Structure 1
């Protein structure tokens, strides 16, 4: 039997690295070390800047203390999940005990790396914000922007450095078995990132929404007025959500993309496929260094233009160096690759050209997404200006215009990503294995820009915090104040851009992992002795070509909606608690508004911490266990449909939420700059409502979808052999299979039920933090 579902014996176990390829992998590891060293150098440069006035340092210290306290408590909570999953991974089938332990061990390492990236990003951001404020006060826009972007450069270097180093170590240690071990590494990174993204997102947006509604709308005071008890929590949230959470998210995107590329590369390109996907991101590490160095604002230039210029220059250098790598490293014929696939080995053509085109597709995709996101969310572009004009007719039209913008922009961006996937697929020349590898290589091309993208992302919250500290301290005036407002607006756009890049990597990685999932269950049929023939064809017909696949697709799409709804509801509950607490402080302590009494900032931080950590479990269980329910309960085909539904719906939902939220936020900036009545006008109040609605859209639910779909794909890849083993062959056991599905379903239902028991609209009596949580 020939065709899409023809099982082929997996030769990965016998695949070993030649001396040349071992050397190339060592070089990649050394480049990763250089990136880490440069991250340390950039960090020292940031810390060498002046830390500001005494009042600014006092506020900065309070923000830093709150951020560290939150992450310590979060990591204690997440440690339980890491230990539990480590044990469960040991139960899954693997080639041998060494691979099984390696997969579990590198799961822990991936989780630790993801946590470390988040912590490093946060720990520097809370020190950099006062330095950016001081630079704006004393030196001007150029120096303030340099410090903010260099802070992001530190996180970018650690992201690419740790991601490359982890993957290179696995390839050197396990060679042909590296893809299986890397499944654990990617899963650990994705799972921790999802938890950090959800928890940090709930924290930051609960504080932000609560501060805006009571401070700006009810009390009529500025956004970061020190009399507002939620201001410190808001700034803490920027660091634990936008810095720690997003840094971990981008790291897991990097790690999971490498995992997908290496899994497919070993089958399509033999040992070359284990090394070439490492070489391309290594080039990206070099160009990221260049991008961070050359990004600096010219006199009178919009900071966003200088950031875009640095991005495009580094992307262009990546393209050139990738071409050199492809033609120097890869052979000039498919037959010389040593591929496991006979279909690949007999292809006519030059694999160097095809591989290079795939990489270039990813680099171009990054540039197009940057442009599209800037167009839909930039303060100087028509879509956001149109949303700003709708403030003249009230909050309802602001909400409607932002939703319309998000829905429309999601279509164009997702179609662009789909176009790149299809073009990469065509490069395979009819071989599905090769086509999927080229899709993964497109993702690797996109990874060459990740170092600069992470720098752009961190630039946003650092600039936002700098403006907040400046306003709270009252020590920055005139031109310095305007500089920080401008940098904050640019940061809103750069954060939206990084969210667009993150969802692109998620879709590319998920598409590649979708192919890996198919390979996993097909190979599993061979391993249990089901060869091509009547039994295998019957298995395909009943599992794949059946209504089960459509049912799975619907469930996959539904999970994205449920996950998003749970995240937004969590913000709603926590923000309500903040509103009551800030109102209470204003009511019971009139000296706060008079400026003679200091607000109780710590109480708000405690509320945000308690509520965000309490909401972590349900989304995590939903992501990890729904593939188990569908796979063991409905079969391999239904799980394939589940993944397809989650990818399609997740991509559209994530872009919609990110772009709507970004446009609402920057529309508020347009009004605050003096347009349509300026601050204090009815238009300003309407823009604040839009911004508060957009906050959980763009910074909680939207970004968390990226790791969600990758976690579900990796779970599917990991459990596919077990599903096949229990479905067909000598170990077939319907009772055990359905028992696993039912047990997972019970856990999900219980978790959702517990979450839904918490009232969405809380009362003032429910606000006081439990001293035991402090």
Structure 2
């Protein structure tokens, strides 16, 4: 096609002139109250979790060490990111906007989105480090003291699981509550200007989440890999043996990575999907488009409450996963029913009756907006359910893919790695096809109107959001269960049946984490596809403002143009580079951890017979410093790469860049998450006694596979999700500036080249500096850092055995 513009897009500016009606203002106010109610439910759940017992004094000391390390790391990370957020606040003020109110609101709500994202992550971490010891204490009841009657093992397991899942429920309620509350406030305050202001809100949430996801992922997997390689493989001691100096850092990492990082990630998925839906809703459904996209996730808030409380294990359940699946599907079905009621109660039966739609093509559309809305939302809900089942198939210990990987352990680590990669690659195809079918099915609902089609895609995203409360609870359940097992093993106070309960919960947690990553990338693709439509509208508006010609090569989205093809390739390449940087950062930091743990075993031989205590704080300090230092390069790449492409090659090439990133990112994220999850559970399978059990060569092989998968599933894979949203939002924000300085009276070729060149120089410089750090070996920087005095702020007290 010659250009990205149609009459309905060029008229986009006029469609933003409508204010909220009294009825819609009341509805949005009620939605804000529902969001606040979610926060109240979170408080209730917090009290329930904290009411549980904390176990023995030894367990409490270990939990306190984890809490201290997690708080110290997150405080340092947020201080670092706070400076960056202030800089971006002022940079956003410089970007074009229709009026001063939009410009100020966009910057202010950028900070609100960032603060809400940080708060969601912090709350998740704060409760998780208090819940883990309570889950371990609950499992401990399965092994009675001498003279006491035996406890019902099923009852004990169910109680431990309930504590872990209710902890996740708190994070889920905070995610949906803060996300919905923020978007509702923007609509109530700014009305017609809400779409522009929401760009800042989504950008703040996505940017901070990406930093927290990458930083937390580097921390947790550096400690995990180091602990496994030295402890399990070299010393032959259990995963969470207290003689391993990396164990406290590993448990801290679970909380700052899987809890804080993933909670912030899912919050930004929630926020950005709402942003995309509201931007397109205003254009497609007029005044109703600013309320209905909020109504759907508000229903999801209510059903999430039901779903969380519905996760109550039964004796007939095959595993803990059965109870979680039940809660998820109860929530999804009730959501679909309530959305159907809301659609037919709220929306008119004809597009002509929609108020505030300036496009004659939409108002003359012969369909029924209620059908479009209901089917689109249903597509999102069904997509979440299908991905949940598909991901479970490839990562559950009871399914064939994981069992096949377990069998390959009999022939060594190489075949374990090959089998895991194969599973990841295959699963990525099926997940990508499902997501693509969901996007295309929603797109077809729009008929001849591209605006309605894009809005349908955004509504599918809001449908998927109805399950987010339960999904976040599932995700947090994983690291809480993992930490509980670690505390139990380190303290030595949970044995026999109680240890078995925690092992089973940990295996279920590995699956739930993989499922949430799959659904998170689905939300990323739906949001990115909808934002892509918003990007086209931003170009159309900017072109109309500067009176540019739609046929200009730099404006066309025709993929046959060489500049656009280059943009497509660059978008795909950035996903690979971003993933490589994240995995390499884990490798470097893990190398330093390995040498520090080896040093302690070598210089303090009494560690092995418990006569000396490991120096846990040194490893925590290494992971903290490395994680914060490695944040800069991936962050700069995500923000500056779209700027370089846009100003150098034009907005058409930038659109192609986004398409390349979305396509490649979808496959890469699922591949990394599922292969890592499958390797992890294959290790659990062997540790359960299959193929020789713990200490066997098969066990060592699966440990290697799990070590390879750690940065895959918990660092690079999940970080691609916010990466896609950050790049889409950067493109959306800079599109008017690119058009302004490329065409019309303000065209300035020199400025364009200077901006693009500066962005490239910064990216190249950051990558170069990152690569110069190298991999730690004895005597170099890594070993020196490992031997340096630990930061007193992060030194963990040494628990005793």
TM over 0.5: yes
Match of 1:556 in 2: 571
Any conservation in 2 of the 1:560–1:646 contact (CA below 8 Å)? Answer: yes
Q: 1:763 offset after TM fit, Å?
A: 2.9
Equivalent-residue separation in structure 2 for 1:542 and 1:281 (angstroms): 35
Match of 1:263 in 2: 279
CA deviation profile, 1:610-660 (whole Å, cap 9, x unmatched): 111110000000000000000001101110110000000000000000000
Equivalent-residue separation in structure 1 for 2:272 and 2:789 (angstroms): 40
Q: 1:5 offset after TM fit, Å?
A: 1.5
Measured at CA, do residues 3 and 724 of structure 1 come closer, stay the same or move farther in structure 2, by a change above 3 Å? closer
Match of 1:369 in 2: 387
Equivalent-residue separation in structure 1 for 2:12 and 2:636 (angstroms): 34
2:675 to 640, 660, 670: 660
Q: 1:341 offset after TM fit, Å?
A: 2.1
Match of 2:339 in 1: 322
Match of 1:763 in 2: 778
Equivalent-residue separation in structure 2 for 1:25 and 1:540 (angstroms): 40
* 2:206 pairs with 1:186: no
Match of 2:78 in 1: 75
Q: 1:198 offset after TM fit, Å?
A: 0.2
- What SS does the corresponding residue of 1:510 show, helix, strand or coil? helix
Equivalent-residue separation in structure 2 for 1:297 and 1:402 (angstroms): 31
Gaps of at least 5 residues in structure 2 are: 143-155, 793-801
Match of 2:373 in 1: 355
Match of 1:50 in 2: 53
Equivalent-residue separation in structure 2 for 1:721 and 1:541 (angstroms): 12
CA deviation profile, 1:717-772 (whole Å, cap 9, x unmatched): 00000001111111111111111111111111111111011112433443344559
Equivalent-residue separation in structure 2 for 1:340 and 1:724 (angstroms): 24
Match of 1:128 in 2: 131
Q: 1:544 offset after TM fit, Å?
A: 4.5
Q: 1:538 offset after TM fit, Å?
A: 3.4
- What is the TM-score of this pair, normalised by structure 2? 0.95
Counterparts of residues 449-468 of structure 1 (less than 5 Å) = 449-468=467-486
1:643 to 655, 658, 666: 658
Any conservation in 2 of the 1:190–1:252 contact (CA below 8 Å)? Answer: yes
Equivalent-residue separation in structure 1 for 2:119 and 2:15 (angstroms): 32
Equivalent-residue separation in structure 2 for 1:303 and 1:296 (angstroms): 9
CA deviation profile, 1:59-87 (whole Å, cap 9, x unmatched): 00000000000001101111121011111
Match of 1:488 in 2: 506
Any conservation in 2 of the 1:573–1:762 contact (CA below 8 Å)? Answer: no
Match of 1:612 in 2: 627
CA deviation profile, 1:461-495 (whole Å, cap 9, x unmatched): 00000000000000001111100000000000000
Equivalent-residue separation in structure 1 for 2:662 and 2:231 (angstroms): 39
Report the aligned-residue RMSD.
1.3
Gaps of at least 5 residues in structure 1 are: none
1:102 to 84, 101, 105: 105
- What SS does the corresponding residue of 1:680 show, helix, strand or coil? coil
Match of 1:14 in 2: 17
Any conservation in 1 of the 2:2–2:558 contact (CA below 8 Å)? Answer: no
Equivalent-residue separation in structure 1 for 2:16 and 2:557 (angstroms): 28
Measured at CA, do residues 680 and 35 of structure 1 come closer, stay the same or move farther in structure 2, by a change above 3 Å? same
- What is the TM-score of this pair, normalised by structure 1? 0.98
Equivalent-residue separation in structure 1 for 2:790 and 2:473 (angstroms): 38
* 2:181 pairs with 1:165: yes
- What SS does the corresponding residue of 1:298 show, helix, strand or coil? coil
- What SS does the corresponding residue of 1:538 show, helix, strand or coil? coil
2:487 to 466, 469, 487: 469
CA deviation profile, 1:30-87 (whole Å, cap 9, x unmatched): 0000000000110011001001110000000000000000001101111121011111
Match of 1:90 in 2: 93
Any conservation in 2 of the 1:655–1:702 contact (CA below 8 Å)? Answer: yes
* 2:230 pairs with 1:214: yes
Equivalent-residue separation in structure 1 for 2:18 and 2:125 (angstroms): 41
Moved more, 683-692 or 726-735: 726-735
Q: 1:176 offset after TM fit, Å?
A: 1.1
CA deviation profile, 1:519-550 (whole Å, cap 9, x unmatched): 001111112234xxxx3323577674621111
CA deviation profile, 1:196-231 (whole Å, cap 9, x unmatched): 000000000000000000000000000000000000
Q: 1:497 offset after TM fit, Å?
A: 0.2
Equivalent-residue separation in structure 2 for 1:5 and 1:762 (angstroms): 56
Any conservation in 2 of the 1:544–1:636 contact (CA below 8 Å)? Answer: no
Match of 1:537 in 2: 551
Counterparts of residues 109-258 of structure 1 (less than 5 Å) = 109-138=112-141, 140-258=156-274
Q: 1:597 offset after TM fit, Å?
A: 1.1
Measured at CA, do residues 36 and 597 of structure 1 come closer, stay the same or move farther in structure 2, by a change above 3 Å? same
Counterparts of residues 673-752 of structure 1 (less than 5 Å) = 673-752=688-767
* 2:519 pairs with 1:501: yes
Any conservation in 2 of the 1:580–1:764 contact (CA below 8 Å)? Answer: no
Q: 1:300 offset after TM fit, Å?
A: 5.1
Equivalent-residue separation in structure 2 for 1:406 and 1:723 (angstroms): 39
Equivalent-residue separation in structure 2 for 1:78 and 1:293 (angstroms): 35
Measured at CA, do residues 225 and 24 of structure 1 come closer, stay the same or move farther in structure 2, by a change above 3 Å? same
Match of 1:309 in 2: 326
Q: 1:344 offset after TM fit, Å?
A: 1.1
Q: 1:123 offset after TM fit, Å?
A: 0.3
Equivalent-residue separation in structure 1 for 2:480 and 2:778 (angstroms): 34
Match of 1:627 in 2: 642
Any conservation in 2 of the 1:12–1:176 contact (CA below 8 Å)? Answer: no
* 2:686 pairs with 1:671: yes
